[in-house]
Structure 1
Amino acid sequence: MQENTEPGASGPAAAPGAEASVPAGSAPETSVPAARREEPGGARNRVTLRSDLRASVWDGLLALLVTGAVFALLWVRIQDRSSSTATVMPFMADDPEGFWVYFLSQAFGWSALLWAWGTVVLGLLLSGPRPARLPLSAARLERLHRTTSLNTMALIGAHALLFAVELVRHDKDAWYSAAWTAFVEAFVPGGYDSGTGRIALPIGQAALYLAIPLGLLFYVRHRIGPKTWRVLHRFVLVVYVLSVWHTLLYGTNVWYDGWFRTTVWLLQLPIAALFLLRLLRPARRSQRLDSLGAHAGSPALWGVRLLGRAAVAGLVVVLLAVLFTGRDGGRGAPPEDTSSTHQHGE
Structure 2
Amino acid sequence: MTMASGSSTPNKKRRRSAPRFDWHGLGADARAAVPDASLALVVTGLIFWWLWTRIDNGTSPSIEIMPPFDDTSEYWWYWLCQAFGWSALLWAYVTLLFGLLRSGARPPWRWLTAARVEKLHRTTSLTTIGLMFLHMATFFAAELQTNFENQPMGELVRETLVKVFVPGGYTTGTGRIAILLGLIAFYLAIVLGLAFYVRQATGPRMWRALHRFIIVVYVLSVWHTLLYGTNVWFEGSFRTLVWALQMPLAGLLLLRLLAPARPRERLRLRGPRRESRPLPLTARLAGRLAVLATIVGLAAVIISGADGGRSGHGHSIGPWPEQWVIWTGLLVLTLVLVAVVHRLRPAHQTLGRGGNPENDDLATDQPQPTG
Q: TM-score, normalised by structure 1?
A: 0.78
Runs of 5+ unmatched residues, structure 2: 1-13, 17-22, 316-371
Single out whichever of 145-154 and 171-180 deviates more from structure 2: 171-180
Shift of 1:249: 2.5
Separation (CA, whole Å) in 2 of partners of 1:58 and 1:292: 49
Separation (CA, whole Å) in 2 of partners of 1:128 and 1:260: 30
Query: What is the number of equivalent residue pairs in this alignment?
Result: 294
Aligned residue number for residue 153 of structure 1: 129
Aligned residue number for residue 319 of structure 1: 298
Q: 1:132 aligns with which of 108, 132, 154?
A: 108
Aligned residue number for residue 199 of structure 2: 221
Is the CA contact (8 Å cut-off) linking 1:256 and 1:330 kept in structure 2?
Answer: no
Partner deviation per Cα, 1:196-233 (whole Å, 9 max, x = no partner): 11111111011111111222221121022222212211
Aligned residue number for residue 310 of structure 1: 289
Aligned residue number for residue 328 of structure 1: 307
The code of the aligned residue for 2:184 comes to A
Q: 1:251 aligns with which of 209, 213, 229?
A: 229
Secondary structure at the aligned position of 1:180 is classed as: helix
Separation (CA, whole Å) in 2 of partners of 1:288 and 1:225: 21
Residue 57 (1) aligns with residue 44 (2): no
Secondary structure at the aligned position of 1:98 is classed as: coil
Q: 2:68 aligns with which of 91, 97, 107?
A: 91
Aligned residue number for residue 357 of structure 2: none
Separation (CA, whole Å) in 2 of partners of 1:98 and 1:79: 12
Runs of 5+ unmatched residues, structure 1: 1-37, 41-45, 337-346
Shift of 1:251: 1.9
Shift of 1:292: 5.8
Aligned residue number for residue 264 of structure 2: 286
Q: 1:69 aligns with which of 29, 35, 46?
A: 46
Shift of 1:326: 2.9
Q: CA RMSD in A?
A: 2.7
Separation (CA, whole Å) in 2 of partners of 1:322 and 1:301: 32
Residue 112 (1) aligns with residue 60 (2): no
Partner deviation per Cα, 1:139-196 (whole Å, 9 max, x = no partner): 1111111000111111000000110111111222222122111101101122111111
Is the CA contact (8 Å cut-off) linking 2:75 and 2:145 kept in structure 1?
Answer: no
Aligned residue number for residue 78 of structure 1: 55
The code of the aligned residue for 2:49 comes to A
Is the CA contact (8 Å cut-off) linking 1:254 and 1:260 kept in structure 2?
Answer: no
Q: TM-score, normalised by structure 2?
A: 0.73
Separation (CA, whole Å) in 2 of partners of 1:144 and 1:286: 26
Residue 264 (1) aligns with residue 258 (2): no
Separation (CA, whole Å) in 2 of partners of 1:170 and 1:59: 32
Q: Please identify the structure whose Cα radius of gyration is greater.
A: 2
**Against the structure 1 CA distance between its residues 86 and 157, is the aligned structure 2 distance closer, same or farther, given a 3 Å change threshold?**
same
